[in-house]
Amino acid sequence: MKPIEILKELIKFRSLTPSDDGAFNYVSMLLADFSEDRFELNGVTNAIFTKRLGLGPHLCFAGHIDVVPPGEGWASDPFMPVEADGFLYGRGAQDMKSGIAAAICALAAARDFKGTLSLLLTSDEEGDGIYGT
């Protein structure tokens, strides 16, 4: 999959802090050859997806899947991606579901890395961040 396709799917998750709304299950499907550990505490989910390719360094991408409530003024459903004028609109498109989509693609495509790759995600960055980032 391409990052834009993954991003469009991630936008559809109503992942209002501290809910991931199933987004972690989607990431798990995309990184099926990575091991996964999830930790849930007080409604917050943290997940780490890991793949060891060698004895070298550990490269970890980190991010959050949660978004703040969309507020007023949207011309369309904020949880349905819309392409217009060369831009993609939707809740979390800039912060930070696009970064997660790019990280997933980079991790899935890695072949020659001689260490460990991982993706660390939380559902509580936009909130208090007590049990997440």
Q: Give catalytic status of residue 66 as yes or no.
A: yes
Tell me, what DSSP letter sits at residue 115? S
In Å, how far from its chain's centre is CA 22? 11
Instruction: Considering the candidates 20, 66, 124, 126, report the single residue annotated as catalytic.
Output: 66
Q: Give catalytic status of residue 125 as yes or no.
A: yes
* C-alpha pair distances (Å), 18 with each of 15, 66, 84: 7, 6, 29
Instruction: Considering the candidates 20, 124, 125, 126, report the single residue annotated as catalytic.
Output: 125
In Å, how far from its chain's centre is CA 109? 16
Instruction: Tally helices (H) and strands (E) across the chain.
Output: 3, 6
Catalytic residue set: 66, 125
